[in-house]
Amino acid sequence: MKLILLCCNIYSRMLPGCMLLILLLSAPLAFAHPHSFIDMKTSLVTKDNQLTGLRMVWTMDEITSADLLYDAGNAKPDSVVWKKLAAGVMANVLGQHYFTEFWHQGKRVKFDNLPPEYHLSRNGAKAVLEFVLPLAEPQSLKGQTYLFSTFDPSYFVDMFYDNEKSLGIPEAGAAQCKLTLKTPKPNASLQAYALSLDKADAPPEDMDLGRQFAQTVTLTCP
């Protein structure tokens, strides 16, 4: 049940229909982790040759999107309905520190807990959350290397980039920088363990299962 609640965590504050998601996850295909999928795209946000944040676009799978789209109904984009849904989703993302870690020289870079913009929309049968993850302080780009990863620690939700084309660098301010994507290759025993987990099973917290499957993005600037 703990992991079912985690899956609903992104939506729980504003979705009375979250129980529907739980029922959907009871289908045979829901056995084995992960149970939910978010396709990500990320681009740098820069100003005066400094990194100020990350623009993220998260596209949720159809089942994960079902309750959101049901509650949105036929509401027009940018209507009050969509704005309320977006606020609820964003509040829960903030509660999980954007599901993201950002590192510089072995130290965590802090985030601002007030995103300057966020938006929720529909793309066919999928819900799409777009927001800017702001750094607490601008970070110098010249001659620096940064690492960041976005993941659900329990691996109930698989948050992934298709490939390096999902990573973007603005033409101005960081054109000389490079983003590279590293996808881990967990050993067979770890993969088998994840596959063995039912939707109600929780891996030990100190195992940090999601981190072991998490992709790492490296930002390198000359």
Distance, CA of 86 to CA of 35 (rounded, Å): 22
Q: Within 13 Å of residue 210, how many CA atoms lie on the same side as its CB?
A: 23
**Which range is least confidently modeled, 61-70, 145-154, 195-204, 213-222?**
195-204
Give residue 25's region: left, alpha or beta (phi > 0; psi -120 to 50). alpha
- Per-residue pLDDT of 160-183, as tens digits, reads 999 999 999 988 767 789 999 999
Q: What is the pLDDT of residues 131-158, one digit of tens each?
A: 999 999 999 999 999 999 999 988 888 9
Mean pLDDT of 45-52: 94
**DSSP states of 104-140 as a string?**
ETTEEPPB-SS-S-EEEEEETTEEEEEEEEEEEEEEE
Q: What is the pTM of this model?
A: 0.82
* Proportion of the chain above pLDDT 90, given as a percent: 64
Instruction: Please provide the DSSP assignment of 12-77 as one string.
Output: TTT-TTHHHHHHHTTSGGG-SS--EEEEEEEEEEEETTEEEEEEEEEEE-HHHHHHHHHHHTTPPT
> What pLDDT score does 192 carry?
72
Contact indicator for 4, 64 with CB cutoff of 8 Å: no
pLDDT at position 1 over 70: no
**Higher-confidence position of 81 and 20:** 81
User: From the centroid of its chain, how far is CA 156?
Assistant: 12
Q: Which domain holds residue 75?
A: 2-220
pLDDT of residue 198: 63
Confidence of residue 202 (pLDDT cuts 50, 70, 90): low
Q: Encode pLDDT of 74-101 as tens digits.
A: 999 999 999 999 999 999 999 999 999 9
Taking CA atoms, 1 is separated from 95, 156, 169, 199, in Å, by 19, 12, 40, 7
Task: Assign 161 to helix, strand or coil.
Answer: coil
Q: Give the count of domains, the chain.
A: 1
Look up residue 143 and give its DSSP letter.
T
Check pLDDT > 60 for residue 27: no
**Coil vs helix vs strand at 142:** coil
Q: Which of 40-44, 124-128, 201-205 has the lowest mean pLDDT?
A: 201-205
Q: What is the mean pLDDT of residues 25-54?
A: 79
Secondary structure class of 165 (helix, strand, coil): helix
Question: In which band, very low, low, confident or very high, does the pLDDT at 211 lie, cut at 50, 70 and 90?
Answer: confident
pLDDT digits (tens, 9 = 90+) for 112-126: 999 999 999 999 999
**pLDDT at residue number 141:** 96
Round the average pLDDT of the chain to a whole number and report it.
84
